[in-house]
Chain A
Amino acid sequence: MSRRTLYLRQRLETIKERTLFEINVSQELPNWEKIVITWVALFIFWIVISGNTRTENIIMGAIATLITASFMKDLLTDDIRYRGHLIEKILSFAFLHAPQYIFIMIFRLIESNFKVAKHALLMDINPGIVKIKTNLHSDTGITILANSITLTPGTLTIDVDKKLGEAYLYVHWIDVKTLNRDKAGEMIKGDLEEWLKKIFW
């Protein structure tokens, strides 16, 4: 290839990276929302782990988790892109999105257990490693997607490849049905990616 096309391609890649970065920054949560979300998560964890509900324990926990949350506000919430008011966010996550995800994953997990039992008894395996593309960009989103893929029937994530703003997953599939990348991605990911794109970018 000539030098000019190489130059044009490099320009195109820098522009693409730049727009991705702009989208990322423009949808970021403000600082106080980050602190409040981290505080709620840590406070629930404090109450469940400490295990007593006396008043001084709860006040002590509120102060300690608020101090911790103001330092560690980027740890949990750096990749969250979620529209709407803060209370709407917390309520819709606690009563709409988290039960939806748990409902999907419980049935997938039971189905995958029965499928492993069937494969172990009949030995009708047909293994292979396929490569699928994902539309998520953030580290947290890709991590949760890979963990969910490992728990869904017949698949096991081996590696993640991130380059040029696109992420690819290498998946060990115990019963390979198709080699087409889009069809395989649709069969492996299902509706988990749609769910994750509502919260992470």
Chain B
Amino acid sequence: MIEYLLLTLGVLIMIFGAIGILRFPDVYTRLHAATKCDTGGAMNILLALAISIEAPLLTKLKLLVLAFLIALINPMISHAIARGAYKSGIKPQTPVVDMYAWDNP
């Protein structure tokens, strides 16, 4: 029962992430949608698989290791993309404040 709930939640989170990538205005706000929704959706789906699979305990633990690696790597990649985009000259659109441009003119 609970694995269907987790699977539905993961797929819904992925769909809202895709809508966010299509609707947000610039690179940085799109990265918000990509990073968080991918991490949350993939972790929910992997948790549902780990609960529902018919296998010994160590195979379930391997799926949890995969979820841990996704949670470790995904924010790092988004940080690298955001910093690379800023260094190559893509400015955020309509910012309230941009303190990074104050310190790195």
Contact = CB atoms under 8 A, between A and B. Distances in A.
A and B: bona fide binding partners: yes
A130 interface: yes
Interface stretch (A3-11, A15-23, A84-92, A169-177): A169-177
Given A116-B36, A116-B37, A174-B32, A127 B16 contact: no
Interface residues of A, number: 42
B37 A125 contact: no
Interface size class of B (residues with CB under 8 A): 35 or more
A-side interface mostly: mixed
Interface in B1-59: 13, 16-17, 19-20, 23-25, 28-29, 31-33, 35-37, 39-41, 43, 58-59
A172 B98 CA distance: 9
Given A109-B40, A109-B43, A156 B78 contact: yes
A128 B29 CA distance: 10
Contact of B29 (A151, A161, A174): A174
B97 A112 contact: no
A172 B82 contact: yes
Q: Which of B32, B41, B71, B86 has most A Cβ within 10 Å?
A: B32
Contact of A158 (B20, B37, B41, B82): B82
Interface of B: 13, 16-17, 19-20, 23-25, 28-29, 31-33, 35-37, 39-41, 43, 58-59, 61-62, 65, 71-72, 75-76, 78-79, 82-83, 86, 92, 94-101, 103
The 6 closest A-B pairs by CB, nearest first: A120-B20, A150-B75, A128-B96, A117-B16, A113-B40, A128-B97
16 contacts: A45-B65, A109-B40, A110-B40, A113-B17, A113-B37, A116-B17, A120-B16, A120-B19, A120-B23, A127-B92, A131-B103, A147-B72, A150-B75, A156-B28, A156-B82, A170-B100
Interface of A: 45, 47-49, 51-53, 105, 109-110, 112-113, 116-117, 119-121, 123, 125-131, 146-148, 150-151, 153-154, 156-159, 161, 170, 172, 174, 176, 179
